[in-house]
Amino acid sequence: MSKLDWLKLEIDGLKDQGLYNHIRTIGSAQGARLIVDGRDVLNFCSNNYLGLANHPKIVEAAQVAMIKYGVGPAAVRSIAGTTDLHIELEKRLAKFKGAEDVITFQSGFTANIGTISALVGKEDVIFSDQLNHASIIDGCRLSGARIVPYEHNDPTALDAAIRENDGSYRRALIVTDGVFSMDGDIAPLPTLYEVAKKYDILFMVDDAHGEGVLGKGGRGIVDHFGLHGKVDIEIGTLSKAFGAVGGLVAGDKVIVEWLRQRGRPFLFSSAVTAPDAAACIAAVDLLESSTELVDKLWDNARYFKAEMKKLGFDTGGSETPITPVMLGEAPLAQQFSRELFENGVFAMSIGFPTVAKGKARIRVMISAAHDRDDLGQGLDVFAKVGRKLGVIK
Ligand SMILES: *Cc1c(COP(=O)(O)O)cnc(C)c1O
């Protein structure tokens, strides 16, 4: 046995179970259609909710910034200074979201791990929704705090967990996804907030899939529920609806100030580039100027989900444009995805460990970039493949 044999066995195991990730290669800009592995296909799997990833105004803003600032940040912000663009972006995001202050990170992932590990430590406890995103889980582990998972979206279970652990910790943090990325359901934030308030516990929501999607004109989940000033920390991403890349933390100004001193990915890793920051500022401009794209996204999502239900597909309990098409076993989901692709539709299967075993699915991501013809084509292909594989009649 060589010391690497176990890896080959593990990888073969993934292949046998239909859980091996086959990553396709994209040869075009993001949009309703893509060139994938050399073929022109309908794009049903990106998080480009508003079509901003290749929006002319955003591309132009990035180009202008690239001419002025070049491409690389050259060092971390706290050591070598930060561009006025990064500062402007943070100010604009705070105003857009109605938060006291905002700090940006390289990604939503680093925003989560940096924030959680800066706020709680070994003597503390974190109450975490059991279906939280991997970056929250990793942030919790990194912090060294004791992790107490509570039943998904269940404020009563949260309350009970807090009571059970009463007196056993120094500080506590409650953390939940805003929109759960695999099922598209929304956390019951007002009721969770009541629990956080009752025990005076820090309350954090990761709104990666709500940023640019939920709330007035895409202002996010805190705006959606009118909880400004009540949710202590709102994490967002600039890599999904905003069409660029980056993460953000919006909240109380003392928390943001602390993260500028103690957020480790902020202190030890370079920032997004100036063109990225400029692209995000242009995205805020667009969102502030009109709700048209957000409205179109929701129109498209409602239409697509209703038609999929009519066809007989199980689209789970999604309340957002995320549309899971539940298939059960991972090999079926992989085969479904391959057949979709052969028929010109790019939608990937998702299986364990991203979702529980037996809950494999195709996750369709609807976008404002789609028009009704795109959605019609997608529905026709889903119907054809669904009948062929015996998923619908
Ligand atoms: C996508 C996602 C992230 C990570 O965001 P990136 O900007 O891609 O790193 C974090 N949390 C949740 C809930 C997500 O869906």
Examine domains 22-49+291-388 and 56-289 and report if their fold is the same.
Answer: no
Q: Is the CB of 176 under 6 A from ligand 1?
A: no
* Residue 352, pLDDT score: 87
Top-confidence residue, 77 or 353: 77
- Distance between Cα 108 and ligand 1 center (Å): 5
Q: Which residue out of 209, 305, 359, 370 is catalytically annotated?
A: 209
Top-confidence residue, 1 or 169: 169
Q: Which CATH number fits domain 56-289: 3.90.1150.10, 2.40.420.20, 3.40.630.10, 3.40.640.10?
A: 3.40.640.10
* Residue 244, pLDDT score: 97
Taking the C-alpha atoms of residue 217 and residue 96, their distance in angstroms, rounded to an integer, is 10
Determine the residue of 46, 47, 106, 109 to mutate for testing ligand 1's pocket, defined as the one with the most ligand atoms within 8 A of the Cβ atom. 109
* Residue 315, pLDDT score: 96
Q: Where are the alpha helices (DSSP H) in 98-252?
A: 108-119, 134-143, 155-164, 189-199, 221-224
* Residue 20, pLDDT score: 86
DSSP string, 313-374: ---TT--SSEEEEEEESHHHHHHHHHHHHHTTEE--EE-TTTS-TT-EEEEEE--TT--HHH
**Residue 106 binned pLDDT confidence (cut-offs 50, 70, 90):** very high
**Residue 347 binned pLDDT confidence (cut-offs 50, 70, 90):** very high
**Residue 9 binned pLDDT confidence (cut-offs 50, 70, 90):** very high
* Residue count (the chain): 393
pLDDT tens-digit profile of 363-391?
Answer: 999 999 999 999 999 999 999 999 999 99
Average pLDDT in the 84-103 region?
98
**Residue 2 binned pLDDT confidence (cut-offs 50, 70, 90):** very high
Least confident of 23-27, 88-92, 115-119, 142-146: 23-27
* Residue 154, pLDDT score: 98
Give catalytic status of residue 22 as yes or no.
no
Average pLDDT in the 187-211 region?
98
pLDDT tens-digit profile of 234-276?
Answer: 999 999 999 999 999 999 999 999 999 999 999 999 999 999 9
Q: Is the pLDDT of residue 19 over 90?
A: no
DSSP string, 34-103: EEETTEEEEE-S---TTSGGG-HHHHHHHHHHHHHH-S---S-HHHH---HHHHHHHHHHHHHHT-SEEE
Tokens encoding 270? 């370079």
Q: Which residue out of 117, 128, 181, 367 is catalytically annotated?
A: 181
- Distance between Cα 236 and ligand 1 center (Å): 8
**Residue 90 binned pLDDT confidence (cut-offs 50, 70, 90):** very high
Give catalytic status of residue 270 as yes or no.
no
The superfamily (CATH) of domain 22-49+291-388 is Aspartate Aminotransferase, domain 1 (3.90.1150.10)
* Residue 1, pLDDT score: 78
Q: Is the CB of 105 under 6 A from ligand 1?
A: no
pLDDT tens-digit profile of 27-86?
Answer: 999 999 999 999 999 999 999 999 999 999 999 999 999 999 999 988 899 998 999 999
Q: Is the CB of 46 under 6 A from ligand 1?
A: no
**CA dist list (Å): 42 to 252, 294, 339, 383:** 42, 20, 13, 15
**Residue 21 binned pLDDT confidence (cut-offs 50, 70, 90):** confident
Q: Is the CB of 315 under 6 A from ligand 1?
A: no
Domain ranges of the chain: 22-49+291-388, 56-289
Q: Is the pLDDT of residue 10 over 90?
A: yes
Q: Is the CB of 132 under 6 A from ligand 1?
A: no
